[in-house]
Amino acid sequence: MNCMFNNCSNLKNIDLSEFNTTQVKRMDNMFNGCTSLKKLDLSKFDTNNVEYMKGMFSDCKSLININIKSFNTNTVFNMSYMFNKCFSLTQLDLSNFDTSNVRDMSYMFNECKELIKLNVSNFNIDNTKFMEYMLYNCIKLKYIDISNFKFNSSKNCICMFLGCSKELEKEIRAQNKTIKNEAFESDLLM
């Protein structure tokens, strides 16, 4: 199912309630570039065997409502670019996501400029290596709970929060003492 609806820029509505996804391993770029899609209900998706969700909703610029609460993500190891440039999303609850096997979260919420609320409180990043630009330019993000994130030298988190507000940076630094300075800096790229 990877790239299944890739660049279907005129797609506005789709009913996927009858899709059988029990054997699917790849959902990467599935809705990438569906720039007119506003709502998406994937509550019937069986994601028990999915390993790739890279770019799954990337460039869904008009997406305002997405139902992925039923997603089982315990076999997924790549979530990079998953919500990249979802300009219209204002809130996202991913508290049900099991990220214990995810290695790559880079650019996951990159340029989600309207995102105010993001729940990643149950994310486990123990096996995650790549987190660079994860929340780059999420300029309206008010709060995110990353108190359980354990940052160490093996994690690439360059510019993870670059472009976010100074208030958010203070909040993040207060709740997580293991966060590295490079998560907020851009001068490392020069």
CATH code (residue 188): 3.80.10
CA 161, 152, 97, 120: dihedral to nearest 10 degrees?
A: -40
> According to the model, what pLDDT value does residue 5 have?
96
User: How many structural domains compose the chain?
Assistant: 1
Mean pLDDT score, 104-109: 98
pTM: 0.94
In Å, the largest CA–CA distance within the chain is 50
Share of the chain above pLDDT 90, in %: 89
Mean pLDDT score, 66-72: 96
> According to the model, what pLDDT value does residue 153 have?
84
Domain boundaries, position 25: 1-190
Mean pLDDT score, 18-41: 97
> According to the model, what pLDDT value does residue 187 have?
56
Q: How confident is the model at residue 115 (pLDDT cuts 50, 70, 90)?
A: very high
Mean pLDDT score, 139-145: 94
88: its two tokens: 């219209």
Mean pLDDT score, 12-38: 96
Q: How confident is the prediction for the chain on average, in pLDDT?
A: 94
- Sign of the torsion angle spanned by Cα atoms 91, 96, 100, 102: negative
Q: How confident is the model at residue 186 (pLDDT cuts 50, 70, 90)?
A: confident
> According to the model, what pLDDT value does residue 152 have?
86
3-state class (DSSP) for residue 175: helix
> According to the model, what pLDDT value does residue 190 have?
43
> According to the model, what pLDDT value does residue 45 have?
96
3-state class (DSSP) for residue 16: coil
Q: Are 27 and 1 in contact (CB under 8 A)?
A: yes
Question: Is residue 185 pLDDT above 90, yes or no?
Answer: no
Question: Is residue 4 pLDDT above 50, yes or no?
Answer: yes
Question: Is residue 63 pLDDT above 80, yes or no?
Answer: yes
Question: Is residue 189 pLDDT above 70, yes or no?
Answer: no
Q: Are 111 and 85 in contact (CB under 8 A)?
A: yes
Distance CA 180, CA 160 (A): 10
